[in-house]
């Protein structure tokens, strides 16, 4: 059995080598015909899985994407052919939340305002949005939520329509899936009309899909009336609108979810699904391959306060590192190089905290109490 895996999917060989022949391929550059002998196909968000790519394959048993989203999969085509498929829901949610928190810490410094003085609007309250709401609530930040599909399905869900929410917040955090049409379309959610109506003091953090914002319209608005802007995702990746970069406080290469755990957890989840499909018992788990963190233990004194959280979080991750790499290498090495060579980054849970009184808000952020 041949198992084709995106060559940047961590630990794919280690997880899948007992199930068949593991064949790495370039997810961005894969060509029709290249996958004709694949029994299992495992991709990331850069690969468009559709009829053009799979027309010559008559043996495919499963398609998996090691990401939360599925907008790069032609699910109707896969269903019509009877090919099972799955994403990896929640695999990198914690990583994205930590990215957003790092942006918010920086914004607090830029504005010289405590986060607790803001209202943050979370648009899209799925796997990532839920965790972000939990983290912000732990930090005593007021949160408003917008998620039309959840509001339709859950009568008790506290939801504000986007147009209403956007008038009441200081920061807009986007975490919606990319839906191009229909009742709950998110393509160009921030278009000319929406950006014109958005108060100038509202900061934007986009860590979902680039096409949720009309980037050319955003550039025009930034040139006329700049707002605080943090972009991890861009229209047209990898050929992004580079003129927009200087207008961002933080600009990064779609790496918000690229912690070691975030990427590897997606591989692990697909491994478990393939084992289930084949009727085999999983033999491996993430802990078998994930390296020991550089910092494993930290003692917290009884004087640790909410105001100290920023310094603790920055010990593990500071988004300014990724912004500096992006600005330095984008023009010479390119967007995909930045993603493929992304330096190691660990999540909060990799650091065990000890002390007589570990505040509950640190646990809510993702840190672990030492056992």
| CB-CB contact of 36 with 16 (8 Å) | no
Q: Specify the length of the chain in residues.
A: 371
Catalytic residue list: 209, 237, 254
- What's the token pair of residue 125? 């309250």
- What's the token pair of residue 57? 């394959």
**CB-based burial label for 223 (10 Å; 0-12, 13-18, 19+):** exposed
- What's the token pair of residue 18? 């007992």
| Backbone φ and ψ of 231, nearest 5° | -120, 125
| CB-CB contact of 162 with 146 (8 Å) | yes
What CA–CA distances, in Å, run from 126 to 38, 176, 300? 32, 8, 32
């Amino acid at each position: 059995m041949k198992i084709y895996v995106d060559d940047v999917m961590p630990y794919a060989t280690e997880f899948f080598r007992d199930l068949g022949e593991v064949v790495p391929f370039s997810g961005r550059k894969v060509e029709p015909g290249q996958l004709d002998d694949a029994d299992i196909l495992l991709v990331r968000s850069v690969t468009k899985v559709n009829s053009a790519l799979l027309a010559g394959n008559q043996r495919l048993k499963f398609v998996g994407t090691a990401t939360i989203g599925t907008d790069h999969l032609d699910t109707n085509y896969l269903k019509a052919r009877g090919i099972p498929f799955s994403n990896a829901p929640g695999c990198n949610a914690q990583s994205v939340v930590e990215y957003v928190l790092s942006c918010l810490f920086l914004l607090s410094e830029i504005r010289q305002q405590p986060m607790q003085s803001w209202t943050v609007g979370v648009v899209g309250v799925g796997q990532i949005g839920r965790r972000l709401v939990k983290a912000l609530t732990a930090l005593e930040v007021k949160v408003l939520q917008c998620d039309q599909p959840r509001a339709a399905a859950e009568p008790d869900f506290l939801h504000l329509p986007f147009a209403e929410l956007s008038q009441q917040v200081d920061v807009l955090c986007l975490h919606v899936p990319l839906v191009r049409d229909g009742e709950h379309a998110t393509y160009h959610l921030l278009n000319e009309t929406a950006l014109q109506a958005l108060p100038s003091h509202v900061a934007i953090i986009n860590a979902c899909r680039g096409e949720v914002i009309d980037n050319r319209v955003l550039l025009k608005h930034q040139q006329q009336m700049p707002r605080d802007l943090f972009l991890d995702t861009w229209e047209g990746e990898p050929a992004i609108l580079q003129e927009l970069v200087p207008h961002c406080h933080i600009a990064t290469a779609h790496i918000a979810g690229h912690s070691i755990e975030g990427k590897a957890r997606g591989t692990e989840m697909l491994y478990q699904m393939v084992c289930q499909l084949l009727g085999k018992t999983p033999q491996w788990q993430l802990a078998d391959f994930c390296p020991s963190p550089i910092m494993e233990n930290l003692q917290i004194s009884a004087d640790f306060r909410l105001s100290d959280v920023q310094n603790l979080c920055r010990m593990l991750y500071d988004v300014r590192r990724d912004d500096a790499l992006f600005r330095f290498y984008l023009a010479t090495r390119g967007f995909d190089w930045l993603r493929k060579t992304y330096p190691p980054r660990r999540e909060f849970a990799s650091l065990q905290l000890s002390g007589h009184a570990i505040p509950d808000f640190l646990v809510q952020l993702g840190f672990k109490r030492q056992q």
